[in-house]
Every structure is written in C-alpha cells, then in structure tokens.
C-alpha cells in the first residue's frame, strides 16, 4: 500500500495542501490553517509540491517558536525592495556603467553563458551630429 502524504488532500481531480496552524503560533502567523491548491492533477507532482510546502511551513513554525519570525506588511515589503535595489545599484555601479557605455570603459570580461559583447556597442554615433 502506498504511503499517505501528510497534508495532501484531493478535491475532485486537483490536489491541495491543507495544514492547521498550531494554536501556540496563530497570533504570529495570522491564519488558522494553510490551504491552497497545488495546481496539479498529477499525484506524483502533488506529492513533491506538498513535501516542499511542508518543509516551508515547518520552517515558519520553527521561526515563530524561536522568536525570529517576521511578518511584513505590503509597505515594508516595498521599502525592502527599494532598499535592495539601491544597494544592488551601489554595489554594481561600475559594472552597470561598463555595460551601458563599453566604448568609454572598454569590454567586460565574460564568463558563463553571457553574450560575448554588449547589445549596445557604442553610444557615440547617436551623440555626434
């Protein structure tokens, strides 16, 4: 007999993840349960997705119980995104400039799957009347 995957529920042809949030952490997680579709009618795929979601919810529970769980509102998420973008630009400002203006900075060394040359080779022809 096949082993039953905990938290995996079938509704019609589709599979869902359903797990109750323990009462001791509900005040932090703001839900009584996690319920959502796994977006598949394949039992094999649903089992894999359910196991991944189980690991994610286990981590949320561990964080809530250890005091490291942080629930962010939409404004905080947007503020973090802006800050990360600014940090990225500051850290990579020279590389960004080199890609945009290779005629000024010279060619970048390539590695991995990168295109061997930038798409924009030079801005000079567009600047000269």
- The pLDDT tens digits for 76-104 are 889 899 998 888 878 777 777 676 766 66
- CA nearest neighbour of 37 among 63, 67, 62, 9: 9
| Higher pLDDT pick, 31 / 40 | 40
38 phi/psi in degrees, rounded to 5: -95, 5
3-state secondary structure (DSSP) of residue 120: coil
The two three-digit tokens of residue 81, written as one number: 């995104």
How far apart are the C-alpha atoms of 49 and 114, rounded to whole Å? Answer: 32
3-state secondary structure (DSSP) of residue 36: strand
pLDDT-derived band at 35, boundaries 50, 70, 90: very high
Cα–Cα–Cα angle for 93, 95, 100, nearest 5°?
95
What's residue 106's pLDDT? 61
User: Is residue 16 over pLDDT 50?
Assistant: yes
- CA nearest neighbour of 40 among 17, 18, 15, 19: 15
> How many CB atoms are located within 10 Å of the residue 50 CB?
22
pTM of the model: 0.56
pLDDT-derived band at 110, boundaries 50, 70, 90: low
| Higher pLDDT pick, 125 / 84 | 84
User: Is residue 62 over pLDDT 90?
Assistant: yes
């Amino acid at each position: 007999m096949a082993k039953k995957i905990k938290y995996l529920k079938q509704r019609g042809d589709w599979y869902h993840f359903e797990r109750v949030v323990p009462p001791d952490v509900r005040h932090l997680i703001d839900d009584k349960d996690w319920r959502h579709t796994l977006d598949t009618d394949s039992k094999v795929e649903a089992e894999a997705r359910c196991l991944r979601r189980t690991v994610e919810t286990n981590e949320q529970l561990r964080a809530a119980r250890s005091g490291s769980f942080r629930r962010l509102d939409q404004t905080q998420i947007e503020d973090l995104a802006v800050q990360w973008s600014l940090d990225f630009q500051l850290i990579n400002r020279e590389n960004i400039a080199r890609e945009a203006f290779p005629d000024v900075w010279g060619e970048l060394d390539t590695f991995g799957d990168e295109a061997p040359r930038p798409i924009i080779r030079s801005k000079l022809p567009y600047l000269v009347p």
